Amino acid sequence: MLTRQISLSAPIFLFIFVLQEAVVNQFKLPGGGFSLFVIFALVWAVISTPEIAALTGFGAGILMDMSGGAGGPVGQWTLIMIIICYGVSYLGYGDGNINGNPIGVVFFVVVANLATSFLFLSSSALLGVTTGSFGQILLTLLGNSLWTLVLTPIVLPVFSFMHNFVFETRSVL
């Protein structure tokens, strides 16, 4: 059963990743823009079990590490995405108020996206990667969170449908 789910979800992840790299990264949006792939991985993690969320974080992190715009050493995004995806899924697993409620999912995704950015920033500082000034960092964090808040309710039904197709669940957000 897990083989079927992985073989169906891998092309979906690759498609969203290529869409992010080829199309979304070309937009020059105020406030730093957004990452459709991170939103996708976080939505997938929120509505999955913790084990599937950890696998999601691993796959998403590996792809993000291989991205041309990755600003850190290989493995940094993988570690961050495993921690965030597992943590978000663990906190929301079994709670119908979060998993079954689109507002709860949007809230979790926005907070997890902000936590992902903070973890990336913290680990970059520990690894000696140069970042920007405090003002630039604050503007990017705020802009990224606002773009995620705007975009997540729009793409949530599509991502939820894909998740339900792969895992053969009947409930759609």
Contact 139, 32 (CB under 8 A): yes
Would you state the torsion angle of the CA atoms of residues 11, 117, 82, 28, taken in this order, to the nearest 10 degrees? 10
Under the banding of pLDDT at 50, 70 and 90, the label for residue 25 is: confident
Position 173 in a domain: no
The total number of structural domains that make up the chain: 1
Position 172 in a domain: no
As a whole number of angstroms, the distance between CA 114 and CA 146 comes to 10
On the question of pLDDT at 170 being above 70, the answer is no
Q: What was the pLDDT predicted at 131? A: 80
Per-residue pLDDT tens over the stretch 107-159: 999 999 999 999 999 998 898 888 888 889 999 999 999 999 999 999 999 99
Position 93 in a domain: yes
Distances in Å between the alpha carbon of 30 and those of 23, 107, 113?
16, 22, 17
Q: What was the pLDDT predicted at 96? A: 65
Tokens of 165: 């197709």
On the question of pLDDT at 95 being above 80, the answer is no
Position 102 in a domain: yes
Position 135 in a domain: yes
Q: What was the pLDDT predicted at 173? A: 60
Position 112 in a domain: yes
pTM across the whole model? 0.91
Position 162 in a domain: yes
Q: Structural domain of residue 151, as residue ranges?
A: 2-25+32-167
Sign of CA pseudo-dihedral 82, 87, 93, 95: negative
Segment 68-95 mean pLDDT: 87
Position 39 in a domain: yes
